[in-house]
Amino acid sequence: MSCATTNPMIDPHGRTIRYLRISVTDRCDLRCRYCMSEKMTFLPRSALLSLEEIAIIAERFIARGVTKIRLSGGEPLVRRDVGELVRRLGRLVGSGLDELTMTTNGTRLAEHASEMVDAGIRRVNVSLDSLDPDTFRFITRHGDVTQVIAGIRAARDAGLRVKINAVALKGLNEHQLAPMLRWCVEEGLDLSLIETMPLGAIDEDRTDRFLPLTSVFDALSAEFPIVRDSHRTGGPARYWRVEGTDTRLGLISPLTANFCDGCNRVRLTTEGKLYLCLGHDDQVDLKAALRDGGLGALDEAIDIGLGRKPARHDFRIEAGSAPAVARHMSVTGG
């Protein structure tokens, strides 16, 4: 495939799309309370894009100017043969694609870390909301934190740069975030903190768990020497660094510090829907376009989608309010 950019993607608000997030599956081997209901109904396998179709769509986005791809889920490593997709896209790093990354819950990371490095991935995000075994098990409903920590260390030792993603949850992990940052410094990891987002119906009221990162940052600043860092990954995080260390602290604040003005991202779901914004329902069906009309129809569908990209999301967390969108995070991809 040529690395020359054709027909670059610019949305109605003048933002150039450079970043594609791909959900390879809506399935997950954990059931985090802020993300899923305990009893989930997943898509039938017949509804999913094949790995070949995901690769074709991803390659088309690269041809049109996308320089970063993140694979996610659900949990991407539960999909059989996902390594084939990673290897195919990894071959394009340096030939149109600057970076291929993955977000994972870490449960299967020890098994796959070396394979991912060999395939071209250099950085992974691992979702980890608590180091305390009981808190972790409660949040995930049945997870084993020692398994995730083993995966994180295996990834680091294999040569992957690891960033921990932790959702700040009032009454659950707010007093564990400082120990989490201290642990990341000791382990040589980065840490991004995330405000809970109103996506999909869950079994709890998110209002009770919402913890603004403004207060979290104030508390961490009183305990750690935190300085501003100019690092950017193309995502929504604003970065600081623990002075005297290599550990970066990222804050993703969709409610207290809107970041939409610089949004360069679109998301492809595992069933082939292209969502232009995490907080809106507008989408186009790329699976149907590709199957019915090939690359020409795929380009047309992408252009239609770009025309629908909103200026910003409309996240609100208020007592008794409905989620911003009905779909769960696992459907759209992290």
Specify binding-site residues for GTP.
Answer: 21, 70, 103, 163, 265-267
- Cα(230)–Cα(138) distance, rounded to whole angstroms? 36
Measure Cα distances from 223 to 124, 180, 240 in Å.
Answer: 27, 13, 14
Q: What is the per-residue DSSP string for 23-56?
A: ES-S--S---TTT--SS--PPPGGGSPPHHHHHH
* Known binding-site positions for [4Fe-4S] cluster: 28, 32, 35, 260, 263, 277
The amino acid at 274: L
195: which DSSP letter?
Answer: E
* Known binding-site positions for S-adenosyl-L-methionine: 34, 74, 127, 197
Residue with tokens 């799309």: 17
Report the interhelical angle of 177-187 vs 213-221 (nearest 10°): 60
First-to-last alpha carbon distance for the chain, in angstroms, is 27
* Known binding-site positions: 21, 28, 32, 34-35, 70, 74, 103, 127, 163, 197, 260, 263, 265-267, 277
3-class DSSP state of 238: strand
Report the interhelical angle of 145-157 vs 133-140 (nearest 10°): 100
